[in-house]
Structure 1
Amino acid sequence: MHNSSAKIGIVTVSDRASAGVYDDLSGKAIIATLNDYLSCSWQPEYRLIPDEQPLIEQTLRELADIQGCCLIVTTGGTGPAKRDVTPEATEAVCDRMMPGFGELMRSESLKYVPTAILSRQTAGLRGSCLIINLPGKPKAIRQCLDAVFPAVPYCIDLMDGPYLTCNENIIVPFRPKS
């Protein structure tokens, strides 16, 4: 399926940012990173919501099922605090989990901070959509995406999603030689 513009959901999960206490730098960092990576046409579906599990689940379902996003990237709500429920919401809406994403992101983040082991971020599949949880800090977002994104276009290929092309001087997607 080669549609004209891939839809990608960007979901910032933050009580304080959604209340206007501070600017959502994390969501902006994801959009900037995807703009760096992708050479194909794509359209962000951006949402900024509080740390409420039913609302996170509803937002993920809406982006996957109604908006038709091939990829949803969340930021925030992956730590051990009581309000951090993004991984639970992700697992609740996914058909199958993709634990390799969380494993790789944590091992990448551990090169920078010992507290990376406190991150519970994960990834999963809902229908033909890949959902990836990222940490909340903008710098960590880029580190984690740099680590996992080379596998993302092929994952989307395998789910019959749009063919994502990348700026290969920045990030090289891995697709097996057929």
Structure 2
Amino acid sequence: MEKAKFGVLTVSDRASKGEYEDISGKYIIEYLQEVVSSPFEIIYRVVPDEKDIIEGALIHMSDVEKCCLVLTTGGTGPAPRDVTPEATETVCQKILPGFGELMRQVSLQQVPTAILSRQTAGIRNSTLIINLPGKPQSIKICLDAVFPAIPYCIDLIGGPYITTREERIKAFRPQK
């Protein structure tokens, strides 16, 4: 079985300067280890809230590292320095708005400020890029909602076959 590569990209001015520990990116890695049963490796980076740097990291993870999935955390709010969705939209050939719609829907059941989130997702070549919020509890809520569709999406864009620990998350694939 082909080993998948997953990119985890934390977007944070302070974490990129080492001013505080990147808890969110590390949580995403733990989540993937808990949910994915097929072999994979992680490509991990922390970058500042700079659109061109985020774009460069996304392009590198997609085109050079050949990640089939890149999960970003941070930079999805309304603040002036929050530019992760813009960077994602710039580097992707196709935008998949359903991911953001579902993540906001499930997040709204927890907090009214979820409407401020601008998470999105898209496809760059054979990489699925998904923007996640910045807090571990919010990341869990969002990933639990969208992860069932991720393995099939990766199938459709020519990536490796991803399996999940079904007692935790059941991947959905249409019956043939």
Q: What's the counterpart of residue 53 of structure 2? A: 55
In 2, the alpha carbon distance for the partners of 1:75 and 1:160 equals 24
Name the aligned partner's letter for residue 24 of structure 1.
D
Per the alignment, in what secondary structure is the counterpart of residue 43 of structure 1?
Answer: strand
1:8 alignment partner, one of 6, 9, 16: 6
After superposition, give the CA deviation of every residue in 1:79-134 in whole Å (9 maximum; x if it has no partner): 00000000000000000100000000000100100000000010000001000000
| Deviation (angstroms), 1:160 | 1.3
TM norm structure 2: 0.99
| Deviation (angstroms), 1:152 | 0.2
Per the alignment, in what secondary structure is the counterpart of residue 123 of structure 2?
Answer: strand
- Following TM superposition, where does structure 1 have runs of at least 4 consecutive aligned residues deviating by more than 2 angstroms? none
Count of aligned residue pairs for this structure pair:
176
Q: What's the counterpart of residue 106 of structure 2? A: 108
Q: What's the counterpart of residue 140 of structure 1? A: 138
In 2, the alpha carbon distance for the partners of 1:86 and 1:156 equals 21
Alignment partner of 1:96 is 2:94: yes
| Deviation (angstroms), 1:21 | 1.3
1:44 alignment partner, one of 35, 42, 45: 42
**What are structure 1's unaligned runs of at least 5 residues?**
none
Per the alignment, in what secondary structure is the counterpart of residue 112 of structure 1?
Answer: coil
After superposition, give the CA deviation of every residue in 1:10-54 in whole Å (9 maximum; x if it has no partner): 000000111111100000110010001100110000000100000
Q: Determine what percentage of the aligned residue pairs are the same residue.
A: 61
**What are structure 2's unaligned runs of at least 5 residues?**
none
In 1, the alpha carbon distance for the partners of 2:142 and 2:27 equals 12
